[in-house]
């Protein structure tokens, strides 16, 4: 079955055209030391500008949890501090305030109001060195995959519909096994995989598989 799935995915015309499958050598990344606690460290970055969508969005705010690799993809109309704060407050209210926030030196993230936002919540804001995106490698690596996926979707659905496909891309990233942790980000974050979006009949099989992996997930969290 795994061979069939690889062959089926490899035959996708849109993906073959849009995604960079060349084995190019990349520069060295300089990741910040990881703390093995979910939502301890979040990596934040803006992606864009894109073609203005039919709903008025031109940028994408990407947030990645450093430990679980769980990501959030939120469309925004611009890169103003107000939009960044609104998105982060929504995520923090569902999960918790992180101990550390890593970002580049964009003006919206170095403004007085954003500094106050972090200070009021006890968040340590770590800024990258100038012209060194590799120091925020967690989110930079996701950005490349997101761009490839958006390009593939745009071929089929149109470039002004890019924001409508973000949920599918986010779901795919969070339910794909990460080589660095050997698990799906959703498994490490929640202790279980998300239900299948495309075939609900697979949910029972997924549930049975998850029950046999609970002990392994406990080991990952404690390690």
Q: DSSP alpha helices (H): ranges in 95-165?
A: 107-110, 112-120, 137-157
pTM of the predicted structure, to 2 decimals: 0.75
Chain-centroid distance, C-alpha 16: 22
d(CA 74, CA 89): 12
Per the model's pLDDT, the better-predicted residue between 77 and 197 turns out to be 77
Q: Is 73 left (phi over 0), alpha (psi -120 to 50) or beta?
A: beta
Residue 206: pLDDT above 60? no
Strands (E), 48-179: 59-65, 71-76, 100-103, 124-127
Looking at the chain, the whole-number percentage of residues with pLDDT higher than 70 is 76
d(CA 101, CA 139): 12
Angle between helices 137-157 and 166-174 in degrees, nearest 10: 130
Residue 130: pLDDT above 70? no
Query: Which pLDDT value is given to residue 21?
Result: 59
Confidence of residue 221 (pLDDT cuts 50, 70, 90): low
Q: For 35-58, write each residue's pLDDT tens digit.
A: 888 999 999 999 999 999 999 999
Residue 11: pLDDT above 60? yes
d(CA 27, CA 29): 6
Residue 79: pLDDT above 60? yes
Query: Which pLDDT value is given to residue 117?
Result: 97
Q: For 91-129, write each residue's pLDDT tens digit.
A: 999 999 999 999 999 999 999 999 999 999 999 999 986
Which residues on adjacent β-strands are paired with residue 63?
44, 72
Which residues on adjacent β-strands are paired with residue 178?
183
Question: What mean pLDDT do residues 175-179 have?
Answer: 88
Question: What mean pLDDT do residues 64-91 have?
Answer: 95
Confidence of residue 214 (pLDDT cuts 50, 70, 90): low
For residue 18, give every residue at least 6 positions away whose Cβ sits within 8 Å of its Cβ, in sequence order, or none: 148, 149, 151, 152, 155
């Amino acid at each position: 079955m795994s061979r069939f799935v690889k062959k089926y995915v490899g035959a996708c015309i849109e993906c073959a055209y849009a995604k960079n499958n060349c084995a190019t050598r990349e520069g060295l990344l300089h990741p910040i030391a990881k703390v093995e606690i979910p939502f301890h460290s979040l990596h934040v970055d803006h992606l864009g500008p894109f073609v203005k969508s039919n709903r008025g969005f031109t940028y994408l705010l990407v947030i990645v949890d450093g430990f679980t690799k769980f990501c959030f993809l939120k469309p925004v109309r611009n890169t103003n501090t107000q939009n960044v704060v609104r998105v982060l407050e929504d995520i923090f209210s569902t999960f918790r305030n992180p101990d550390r926030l890593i970002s580049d030196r964009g003006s919206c993230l170095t403004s007085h109001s954003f500094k106050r936002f972090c200070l009021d919540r006890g968040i340590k804001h770590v800024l990258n060195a100038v012209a060194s995106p590799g120091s925020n490698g967690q989110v930079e690596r996701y950005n490349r995959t997101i761009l490839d996926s958006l390009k593939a979707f745009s071929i089929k659905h149109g470039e002004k519909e890019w924001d409508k496909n973000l949920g599918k891309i986010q779901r795919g990233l969070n339910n794909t096994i990460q080589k660095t942790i050997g698990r799906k980000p959703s498994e490490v974050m929640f202790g279980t995989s998300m239900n299948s979006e495309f075939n609900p009949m697979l949910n029972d099989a997924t549930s049975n598989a998850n029950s046999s992996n609970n002990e392994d997930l406990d080991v990952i969290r404690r390690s």
